[in-house]
């Protein structure tokens, strides 16, 4: 069984994001980039499936500029077997990514496709669902527990009302939630081994996919600065400010 994992190159979650002066986007100059945290969980789950003998091969795929090889190498150091980079300089949006992933799924015939539930840059939470629709495959989103059986996967999902357990037929698309696992750290020997692992490179044209953006960003602005808090001397003063200034009680 092959497991395919999608990873995205994003600004590291510890970085303080800055908006460009002309409001056309986020300033990426000299900014640390990392694997999307939800995708790290996806990598860990795929590697655990291999370690348990459920999967024979873990393949990592990323869509974007050549710099995405760095994140693929990270995934290889964490235990993936080989990588695929679909290289493009376009701003790749969720639908285009889903189309590219479908082409890779058709090519590799993976039985389980794992993605993060969302990327921390756009927070769209769309790619996994779009991929399932395009490929005509079952899906189990927001997974916090996964068990793979004979031709099926049983997934506990995190939903608004609590937890939902479903069983889906393979092949399937699974998107990971935070509580699915705790990603491991790459050891130095594995980092060295990852340098020798294969990364195949394609373009969207090689796969017959058009990744031209369909949504145009008009303007990017930072959130308004929060006002400093104040200290009140009494409950009466607090109630007065909540009532007359904040207007949160009447």
Q: Are 121 and 10 in contact (CB under 8 A)?
A: yes
Bridge partners for 174 per DSSP: 114, 140
Measured distance CA(36)–CA(246) in Å, rounded: 37
pLDDT of residue 184: 94
End-to-end CA distance of the chain: 62
pLDDT of residue 223: 83
44's tokens: 């860990």
pLDDT of residue 205: 95
Q: Class for domain 2-224, per CATH?
A: alpha beta
pLDDT of residue 217: 87
pLDDT of residue 247: 77
Residue 214 three-state SS: coil
Residue stretches of the chain with pLDDT short of 50: none
The domain spans of the chain are 2-224
Question: DSSP secondary-structure letter at 248?
Answer: -
What percent of the chain clears pLDDT 70, i.e. is strictly above it?
100
pLDDT of residue 56: 96
Phi and psi dihedrals of 200, rounded to 5? -85, 140
Sign of torsion over alpha carbons 206, 136, 71, 58: negative
pLDDT of residue 246: 76
Measured distance CA(116)–CA(176) in Å, rounded: 5
pLDDT of residue 119: 94
Q: How many residues can be counted in the chain?
A: 250
């Amino acid at each position: 069984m092959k497991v395919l994992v999608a990873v995205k190159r994003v600004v590291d979650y510890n970085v303080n994001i800055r908006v460009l002066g002309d409001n056309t986007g986020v300033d990426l100059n000299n900014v640390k980039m990392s694997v999307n945290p939800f995708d790290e969980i996806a990598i860990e789950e795929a590697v655990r499936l291999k370690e348990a003998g459920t999967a024979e091969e873990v393949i990592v795929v990323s869509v974007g500029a050549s710099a995405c090889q760095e994140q693929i190498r990270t995934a290889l150091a964490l235990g993936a077997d080989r990588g695929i980079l679909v290289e493009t300089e376009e701003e790749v949006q969720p639908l285009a990514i889903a189309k590219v992933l479908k082409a890779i799924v058709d090519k590799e015939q993976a039985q389980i496709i794992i993605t993060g539930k969302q990327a921390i840059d756009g927070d769209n939470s769309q790619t996994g669902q779009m991929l399932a629709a395009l490929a005509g495959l079952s899906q189990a989103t927001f997974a916090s527990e996964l068990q793979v059986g004979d031709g099926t996967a049983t997934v506990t999902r995190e939903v608004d009302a609590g937890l939902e357990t479903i069983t889906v037929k393979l092949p399937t698309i699974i998107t990971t939630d935070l509580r699915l696992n705790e990603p491991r750290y790459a050891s130095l020997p594995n980092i060295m081994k990852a340098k020798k692992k294969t990364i195949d490179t394609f373009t969207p044209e090689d796969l017959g996919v058009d990744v031209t953006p369909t949504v145009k960003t008009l303007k990017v602005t930072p959130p308004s600065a929060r006002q400093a808090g104040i200290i009140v001397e009494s409950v009466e003063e607090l109630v007065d400010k909540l009532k007359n200034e904040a207007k949160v009680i009447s």
